Amino acid sequence: MKPVVISGTGLFTPENSISNDELVVAFNAYVELFNQENAAAIAAGEATALEPSSSGFIEKASGIKSRYVMEKSGILDPHRMTARIAERADDQISLQAEMCLGAAREALARANKTAADIDMVLVACSNMQRPYPAMAVEVQEALGIDGFGFDMNVACSSATFGIATAVDAVRNGRARAVLMLNPEITSGHLNFRDRDSHFIFGDACTAVIVEAAETATGEHQWEILDSQLKTKFSNNIRNNFGFMNRFDEAGVGQPDKLFRQQGRKVFKEVCPMAAETIADTVHKAGLEVKDISRYWLHQANLNMNLLIARTLLGRDATPEEAPVILDTYANTSSAGSIIAFHKYQDDLPAGAKGVICSFGAGYSIGCVVVRKK
């Protein structure tokens, strides 16, 4: 088959960061307000008192210390608990497209490409800010790309599924080069009033250029040796928000219209699936686990990544083998593994092999094996 490479990556990081301490102060203020306002119902057994959170609890449960967000004042307002971002007019660039442009320009520069070299734009992420027109087509227009674009959603695995889709497009001649983007405004679907998940997510956008090896001229190129995509239906991570919500007023604003998960079940079920998929993809690429220099894993939970690496290696992975970015970025859904790849790839020598792997709602697991040229 025609050799295909990742020839450039890019990253957009929001200006605003929220530490665990800041988040806990706001959450605990909300808890105090709720318990005061519902004191009578709580005393009568008709409501349950909310429990406060703590920075220690957050870091122990997830490994997260802070997260970037598009807007923080609304999130930290205990009377609001969600970002304050004004709607934009239809003739203004949308927020997700704006994020994409920042990441795309860095990826194009690293790949030594211009808009004229790109035929296909793919925006792949957990939540689009609108159903249509496709975000990808808006980004295509903003960059001046002559070709086509479309959106796709495979939750936290959207980026790895996007890379595999881009590879197919290049190999079958549909596109010379593909710009694949992951604009994640995860703060938009996070319930900041839920103690079990209020700390999980952060915002960011990543970009990846995929093209034929014969046309690549970037300094850091990674040949895609093999990939594997796997899905298995589960309700353990779910978000019921959608256009049909207006059919039943009773459901409007309910907690199930935001992110929710059964964390223990997810941990127990997804970790072995991810480890098995990685090992299988590595073997199909003609390699052994010992041949892999670096694992750029989905950045959802540090304990999950530690267990997956331990299952694969038979020991704890070093920070160099499985770099972590979730301590400062938190879970950025599909962008997480690509942030790790973007930040921790240039130091590896030619011939080094690595694995990009993501896993999440669906369940979905995507694994890409690469070799530095």
Distance CA(298)–CA(340), nearest Å, equals 8
Q: What's the rounded Cα separation, in Å, for the pair 258 and 245?
A: 12
The one-letter amino acid code at 46 reads E
CB 364 within 8 A of CB 230: yes
Strand pairing report for 292-297 and 353-360: parallel
Check: CB of residue 208 under 8 Å from CB of residue 107: yes
Which of 366, 341, 367 is CA-nearest to residue 352? 341
In the set 156, 271, 357, 367, the catalytic residue is 156
123 phi and psi angles, rounded to 5 deg: -105, 115
Tokens of 89: 């007019």
The amino acid occupying position 117 is D
Mark whether 367 is an active-site residue.
Answer: no
Which of 62, 66, 55, 57 shows the shortest CA–CA distance to 305? 62
In degrees and rounded to multiples of 5, residue 43 shows phi and psi of -65, -35
Q: Which residues are tagged catalytic?
A: 156
